[in-house]
Structure 1
């Protein structure tokens, strides 16, 4: 926590009032940023859970496909698998965006999966179906991974701002307000003492 005070061009009571207003505004900003960061962290964990679910689903599917792929490769050869991979046209993915608490994140949707350009044997066709499912998962996973990156970056930025306000700006404002308050209290006491002395002197002169 900072123990410094803010340097002021002039020490006046107006400056003290301004500092108190600034402190109230800074505390309000700190609360808003902290609340936003809390909500973003919640969104981050929602996206993280979804991403982990998709990764598990993808790993399970790949674990299932690999043995089937190598069996088919031994039985039909590489040409059949190459034909399974060849399509009449590219896959179409729709791209959009959505707003998550002020952060623009991607929205991806597989519009159409191109079918193989030839009729395939049953085993190869089954691999093709799993391939389609893998593509869908990869696109959805890509959407959530990018969302995680963007939200994580914003959370990191907000955390730095919140800590700066909490550990530097607010303590400096408090220290400066405390310093000015003590200074004005001291000046007021000195003024009272001076007034008492002047009154005493005037009173003494009046009795002479």
Structure 2
């Protein structure tokens, strides 16, 4: 027999408690499993969106890299770093959160971009035209990837709990209930046999007295 729960007293009250505990464990198992299923669905939605955004970002950068390297060869790295150093200043991102089935995940929104710099070489004009789209894509990608991570952590926790209920707690409660039921059935049979023997002895004694 598999492991059973150790009880201080083997009573019918304990058996009733175990049956209630089993019902509670099964209900909890169902709730956790349903929540895990919903989170897995959200995880795959976030994964699909992340792949789409990553592909989009890679394509945009791939299109712009030749322009950047051509400009780099014309102006040199130090000069290019100097004239583009102010481009990133003035960017404002609004951060907030949203709830995904009990998990708080971040939300980010690009609120403000600095004006196009007149000092940036004309060769990099495509960068200035595309920067808002690139930044929005990067922010959205970061949002979905962080959501994936947080949802994944929660799924792992839920999976451990569901497995513990399925493989350990519920089987132990069931085994203990079976053990106690067999024990009480055995006691009841012994009581019946004892009762029959007592009745037989009393009947014999009454016969002898007559």
TM-score category of the 2 structures, normalised to the smaller one: over 0.9
For residues 143 and 8 of structure 1, what CA distance do their matches in structure 2 show? 50
Residue aligned with 1:5, SS: coil
**With structure 2 as the length reference, what TM-score do the two structures score?**
0.92
For residues 120 and 141 of structure 1, what CA distance do their matches in structure 2 show? 27
* 1:46 aligned residue: 45
* 2:116 aligned residue: 116
Residue aligned with 2:108, SS: strand
| Equivalent pair of 1:73/1:81 in contact (CA under 8 Å) | no
Q: For 1:87-108, what per-residue CA distance to the aligned partner results, in whole angstroms no more than 9, with x for missing partners?
A: 3842100000000000000000
Residue aligned with 2:71, SS: helix
| Equivalent pair of 1:84/1:116 in contact (CA under 8 Å) | no
Q: CA deviation at 1:84?
A: 4.1
Q: CA deviation at 1:82?
A: 4.3
Q: For 1:87-143, what per-residue CA distance to the aligned partner results, in whole angstroms no more than 9, with x for missing partners?
A: 384210000000000000000001111123425454322122223322221111111
Residue aligned with 2:111, SS: strand
Residues 1:28 and 2:27 are matched in the alignment: yes
1:109-188 maps to which residues of 2 (within 5 A)? 109-118=109-118, 120-188=120-188
| Equivalent pair of 2:83/2:119 in contact (CA under 8 Å) | no
| Equivalent pair of 1:86/1:116 in contact (CA under 8 Å) | no
Residue aligned with 2:110, SS: strand
| Equivalent pair of 2:64/2:126 in contact (CA under 8 Å) | no
Residue aligned with 1:87, SS: coil
For residues 46 and 198 of structure 2, what CA distance do their matches in structure 1 show? 74
Q: For 1:155-194, what per-residue CA distance to the aligned partner results, in whole angstroms no more than 9, with x for missing partners?
A: 0000000000000000000000000000000000000000
Unaligned runs of 5+ in 2: none
Residue aligned with 1:97, SS: strand
Unaligned runs of 5+ in 1: none
For residues 12 and 119 of structure 1, what CA distance do their matches in structure 2 show? 87
Q: For 1:4-61, what per-residue CA distance to the aligned partner results, in whole angstroms no more than 9, with x for missing partners?
A: 0000110000100110011011001000000000000000000011111111011111
